Chain A
């Protein structure tokens, strides 16, 4: 399956990209699974506070991700 991941704020600096497409063998998995996968790919993510949205709605750790979903990795911004 194919998913699209978008990175915001500091997370785009860490991954050095605003978005990427991922091709995965699994046919469905949870946000928690994706999170740990991404945190081993980009280890700095482990020290960052962020939330994950699936198809423009905030998701919990056990929310299911399906083919063609759009995932957003969103950190809080501090600046003002």
Chain B
């Protein structure tokens, strides 16, 4: 590697130089989510020579990903995103050490996964994962480089950087069952996550190289249709930091069996065939795909309170929705109501769609 000319053009920048390249080589970055944002982040970090990159994603490549997730090709469909992405970026830059976590980031594996990294890049696609990442990062005192997209718009920021503001300072978590929008996936312009992912990678490199000013306490807004960008300032809210820390410590300290269990596809399908389980589809009646296994009842989220009033608190209940966001919320709600045997399908019925089609 010493004699390679690979990094010549970036070492030529006085802000980087040989010392900066060494910093990149020593850096350990965890990328959570290897989808629309994750792909460009991984490509750019690997190309820049970031020494160790962790990739977390439990999803598989689907054809509908290919218009925006440029690490994957048609022949990768059906394969693990994390493993496929790792192979591609290792080929792109063999100097990079890549660690693969082919699983979804959740309360049970969070602390184990983040343990050896100095920066977390949030490339996930659910609000609950974003709060989880924030809270874990607060406890671990590592910064989060965040981006998220909606149709033609995107947001970028850096949280918990040198004791700076958190995701929760920007978006305090709303209590109650109404807080999560229906997760029928909306459309997205393919280049949009690539633009936002490149901005995220830029922030990661700036943090490692200690150059420029990092987007800490600043939310960058990007609108591709109007080509408008603007920066919104936000400051630290001690109460929100405390909420995040509290939740983070709770997750770190709890026994894994006390946490509302998240189900894999296989155990979920098994439970659907067990008579003693009540499987509740908490989606609205119009949502697709339908899933009419034996024990499934359809109780939209808003009616859950009434329905569960009729059930025994020790009844085993399995919840699912489209992508796992609403079911997670419902699970937390039922737990508070005193139900003891609860679980939910982590990534929703969407995640077993392929399974259903091939059945």
Contacts and interface: CB of A to CB of B under 8 A. Distances in A.
Contact of B232 (A48, A58, A77): A58
A80 B37 contact: yes
A10 interface: yes
Contacts of A58: 169-170, 219, 232-235
Contacts of A74: 219, 221, 232
B234 A79 contact: no
B193 A10 contact: no
Interface string B221-258: 10000100011111100000000000000000000000
Given A8-B153, A48-B181, A76 B33 contact: no
A1 B141 CA distance: 45
Contacts of B143: none
A79 B233 contact: no
A47 B178 contact: yes
B151 interface: yes
Interface in A39-80: 46-49, 51, 53, 56-58, 72, 74, 76-80
Nearest to A51: B171
B262 interface: no
A56 B171 contact: no
B234 A77 contact: no
Given A10-B181, A47-B178, A51-B171, A78 B125 contact: yes
B36 A80 contact: yes
B191 to A, nearest CB: 14
Interface residues of A, number: 20
B38 A80 contact: yes
Contacts of A53: 232, 234
Interface in A1-40: 8-10, 18
Interface string B111-149: 000000000001111110010000000000000000111
A76 B153 contact: no
Contact of A80 (B149, B178, B179, B325): B149
Given A47-B178, A58-B234, A72-B232, A9 B150 contact: yes
Contacts of A48: 181
A49 B123 CA distance: 20
Given A8-B221, A10-B181, A51-B170, A79 B150 contact: yes
Interface in B73-117: none
A58 B183 CA distance: 27
B155 interface: yes
Nearest to B148: A77
Contact of B188 (A51, A57, A76, A79): A79
A48 B171 CA distance: 12
13 contacts: A9-B151, A49-B173, A53-B232, A56-B231, A57-B233, A58-B233, A74-B221, A74-B232, A76-B171, A77-B153, A77-B155, A79-B150, A80-B122
Given A74-B221, A77-B154, A80-B124, 14 more contacts: A49-B173, A49-B174, A51-B170, A51-B171, A53-B232, A57-B233, A72-B232, A77-B149, A77-B150, A77-B155, A79-B149, A79-B150, A80-B147, A80-B149
